[in-house]
Chains A and B, each alone.
Chain A
C-alpha cells in the first residue's frame, strides 16, 4: 500500500514553462513533507520542505503548495531549465517517525 502517491510518473515541459508535480497522502498524522531531487547517477538530495502548519513554501524558483484538508501538495518549478531535469521524490513523515517516500516523478525539460 503506497501511503504517498505522486503524479504524473513522468513529465516533459519546454524550457521556461512551469512544471507542476503532484503528491497526495493518506495518513493524517503526516506533518513534514520534504521534496528530494535526484540526478542520474547520484543519490537524492533535499530540495525544499514544508511543515503542515504552512500552506506555501518558496525557495528560489521552487514553490510547494500544501492543502491539508485535501491531503495533497504540489511542487511548482517556475521557469524550468534543462538543468532541472531530474527525478523528484515527495516524502512525508509523522512527527518523530520515519520518512515515507513516493514513487517519484521524472521531469524532462526540453530546450
Chain B
C-alpha cells in the first residue's frame, strides 16, 4: 500500500524563524507535491517535483522553497516564517501527473507566532 510519511507532525516557530518540513514516500512514485490546507481555501499547491533534483512552481509558492533530494524525499523550506504561513501542510505522491491518484501523508501542522 502507498505510504507517505511527514515530519514533524506539529511545529511551532517564531516569526522570522527557519522551518523545514520533511516528506518521504515509499511508493516508488515519480511525482511529489506540497500542499497547504486552509479553511475557506481548500488545498493549494505550493511546489511539486517529478524526480530527484527537479522542482516545479505551484500556485502559491511565495515564501517557500522546496528541494527533492532523492526519489523518496521531498522537503519544504520556510526560511523566514511569517504568521500567514500558519497552516496544515500536506505532502503527496503520484505515479504520474495526469489522471493519477494522489496519495497524501497525514499532514504537518505549523504555527508561526
Contact = CB atoms under 8 A, between A and B. Distances in A.
Contact of B40 (A4, A51, A103): A103
A34 B101 CA distance: 9
Determine which residue in A4, A41, A93, A99 has the highest number of CB atoms from chain B within 10 A of its CB, and name it: A99
Interface of B: 4, 35, 40-45, 48, 58-59, 90, 92, 97-99, 101-107
Contacts, number: 53
Nearest to B105: A43
Given A43-B105, A43-B107, A103-B41, A98 B99 contact: no
B49 to A, nearest CB: 12
Interface residues of A, number: 24
Interface of A: 4, 6, 32, 34, 36, 41-46, 51, 89, 93, 95-104
A44 B103 CA distance: 8
A47 to B, nearest CB: 11
A6 B4 CA distance: 27
B57 to A, nearest CB: 10
A34 B102 CA distance: 10
A74 B4 CA distance: 29
Given A44-B104, A46-B102, A96-B98, A89 B43 contact: yes
